[in-house]
Amino acid sequence: MSKNSHPIKIIVLTSLALITSIFAFGSIALWMTDYDSLTNIVLKAVHKEGWRSYFQQQVFPPSRFKTLQYVALLASFSWALFVCFFYKKSDYFAEVLVHFWQQSRTILRQQIQQFERQETFFFLLLLLGFALRGIFQMYRYELQYDEAWTYNHFISNGILISAISPNNNHLLYSFLACLFDYLPISAKYSLRLPVYLGGLATCMLFYGLVRSIWKWQWALVALAWFAFSPGICFYSMYARGYIFQIFFTLLATWASLKSTQKTTSNYLWLVWVLANILGFYSVPTYAYIWLLLNLFLCLHFISKNINWKPWIGSNLVILLVTGLLYFPFFITNGLNTLLAIASTEAPQGEAFLAYQDKVSDWVLLGAGRLTSVYWFWCLLLLSILPIWWAVKSNSIRRIIELILLFLLFPSILNLSLGTQPPYRVWCFLTIFVALTIPLIGSFYTSKIKSSALLLFLAIALSSFSIWRTEVHYAIRWSAELDKKAQKIAATLLEHNVSEVYLFSNYDKPLLEYYYLQDQQRLSVFMSASDSKSYAPFINARIYQVVLWDKEDRVSSQEEQAWLEQHYPIILYEDHRVVLRQSAQE
């Protein structure tokens, strides 16, 4: 064993000892408690004592408690066997980790050393523009519904609750956000800082991938569009896990392309395994990406008759580790929960062209409904087919095949299975749209050597991306609602309100979030009968205040009469809602 691997071995063995202690303590505690006690502990930890019936009937029924006990016992025994095996091979695994670290540093150093002076200037300029724009966007926009909901249910309850909650499908982001929550800054920024840094890292990795294939001029042009594209800018500000999914898709794509070359290595397969595991841990819809990359590699291995054993072994490790990470999903809502998240069908059952237009629009423009964009998507695909026939480089052909596979996948999925996931799921396609820029540009303009023309093209693409991101409906649709929710929360806090009855569903997590920031908890009652916080409004007790929806909800005359009679004092009003206080206050 080398001197460099000895500290790594100590760290790894210490980590194993810690995990073993957690396994042992958890299993013993689980067998010493009963179902009701465990239910009380969980509900109290998440401050949802009123959700007992929902928790016991739908999330974690008594029958699954026994299953959990035996699974925990089996997992502890399996882990003990693994630790014994790992301990005997600890020197070998320490050497593997050291080699992995050294190889990664070598690749990174090679990437940096190939930078030319002019290239470095424009690359740093693009990153600076991205960084400054991200800071401005974080300051400019208040938290949205999903961000506040994530904070209320996961981040504010700590790492453990975030990791084991069956409703959390952005696990990696939640873990990082819990760590950043300890920083002495507002939660608005601590929630968004992980994705902001993730966006910077994603832009760097994208440039490294493109730079390893094409000249730096075209790599910069591609980065100019990619860095300011709607999907990257939005999820570098929006506190969700999609930017990490994009990052690990890039890493897995790089490893996949390298694995199709004549010579491969264990290092590449280790990168591929880690990228896929962390991609799954970012968002469950990474399953689409994993399937496509595997299809790409499978077809390549069959056509070239290459040794497929490392590929099979790597996938078994990915599935095993991912299954362990998503264990709370399986033990609570079962396997159907994970499958439902990864393959959500559109409830409206949109027509094929209408759905494809919206997918293309979300990735490219963000113009909204009735915007025909799918034709441009198809034109983009058709324009790269002649390149496949013309080029002799196998590496470029593999890239074209990968681009076609990914960009055609939403259409194939829709036509074959009728599956229409939410449009945001396809944000990872931004990578493959961006790859078409240097591919098409370098092929059709191969005789043009003017740097000024490429600079103009980069400025035009980045300006276009910034403009489309600014007007993208995903960013702008709730901006005013979010600002108004902050004002409503300030009004409630100013009048020392501890409970509110809501006719407006959107405001609930935002009002709860602002109360948590003030070290208080707001009791919320909802008019929606399917809500867990439902309570009757008419002929019921009088609440402190009512947030009445004037815009979206059609109320009955009886409800209006009850509101006028018992809640005469207006505390706040805008075109959408009115906040009224009871006469008893």
pLDDT tier for residue 227 given thresholds of 50, 70 and 90: very high
The residues near 291 (Cβ < 8 Å, ≥ 6 apart) are none
Domain ranges in the chain are 5-96, 114-476, 479-581
Bridge partners, 372 (sequence order): none
β 545-549/569-573 pair status = unpaired
Q: What is the pLDDT of residue 484?
A: 93
Does 370 score more than 70 pLDDT? no
Q: What is the pLDDT of residue 158?
A: 85
Q: What percentage of residues in the chain have a pLDDT greater than 90?
A: 36
CA distance 492 to 10: 54
pLDDT tier for residue 348 given thresholds of 50, 70 and 90: very low
Are the C-beta atoms of residues 176 and 194 closer than 8 Å to each other?
Answer: yes
Are the C-beta atoms of residues 378 and 414 closer than 8 Å to each other?
Answer: no
Q: What is the mean pLDDT of the chain?
A: 85
Are the C-beta atoms of residues 575 and 562 closer than 8 Å to each other?
Answer: no
Does 498 score more than 80 pLDDT? yes
Does 350 score more than 60 pLDDT? yes
Average pLDDT of the segment spanning 216-230:
90
pLDDT tier for residue 487 given thresholds of 50, 70 and 90: very high
* CA 448 distance to own-chain centroid: 40
pLDDT tier for residue 347 given thresholds of 50, 70 and 90: very low
3-state secondary structure at position 341: helix
Q: What is the dihedral of CA 422, 423, 426, 428, to 10 degrees?
A: -120
Quote the tokens at residue 292. 């496509």
Quote the tokens at residue 465. 């991306």
Does 99 score more than 80 pLDDT? yes
Q: What is the pLDDT of residue 356?
A: 85
The residues near 420 (Cβ < 8 Å, ≥ 6 apart) are 344, 345, 346, 349, 350, 355, 414
Q: What is the pLDDT of residue 570?
A: 92
β 499-502/523-526 pair status = parallel
* CA 245 distance to own-chain centroid: 6
Q: What is the pLDDT of residue 346?
A: 47
Are the C-beta atoms of residues 279 and 248 closer than 8 Å to each other?
Answer: yes
For residue 508, the tally of other CB atoms under 10 A from its CB is: 24
Q: Where are the alpha helices (DSSP H) in 89-143?
A: 90-113, 117-140
Q: Which residue has the higher pLDDT, 1 or 301?
A: 301
Q: What is the pLDDT of residue 319?
A: 92
Q: What is the pLDDT of residue 479?
A: 86
Q: What is the pLDDT of residue 77?
A: 81
Does 335 score more than 60 pLDDT? no
**Which tens digit of pLDDT belongs to each residue from 409-424?**
999 988 888 878 888 8
Average pLDDT of the segment spanning 237-265:
90
Are the C-beta atoms of residues 498 and 159 closer than 8 Å to each other?
Answer: no
Q: What is the pLDDT of residue 66?
A: 81
Bridge partners, 579 (sequence order): 547, 572
Q: Which residue has the higher pLDDT, 477 or 319?
A: 319
Does 482 score more than 60 pLDDT? yes
* CA 317 distance to own-chain centroid: 22
Q: What b/e sequence results for 308-339 when a residue is b if at least 16 CB atoms lie within 10 Å of its CB, and e otherwise?
A: eebbeebbebbeebbeebbbbbbbbbeeebbe
Average pLDDT of the segment spanning 426-442:
91
Average pLDDT of the segment spanning 88-102:
81
Backbone angles phi, psi at 30, to 5 degrees: -65, -35
Residue from 335, 320, 305 nearest 273 by CA: 320
CA distance 468 to 559: 43
- Side-chain-side CA neighbours of 103 within 13 Å: the count stands at 13
Does 338 score more than 60 pLDDT? no
Q: What is the pLDDT of residue 510?
A: 94
Bridge partners, 580 (sequence order): 546, 570
Q: What is the pLDDT of residue 303?
A: 78
Instruction: Give pTM, 2 decimals.
Output: 0.90
CA distance 427 to 329: 24
Write the CA distances from 374 to 357, 365, 367, 505, integer angstroms.
5, 11, 13, 33
Q: What is the pLDDT of residue 367?
A: 73
Does 337 score more than 70 pLDDT? no
In the chain, the amino acid numbered 408 is L
Q: What is the pLDDT of residue 333?
A: 59
Quote the tokens at residue 107. 């690749």
Does 17 score more than 60 pLDDT? yes
Q: Which residue has the higher pLDDT, 343 or 89?
A: 89
Backbone angles phi, psi at 339, to 5 degrees: -65, -35
CA distance 505 to 482: 13
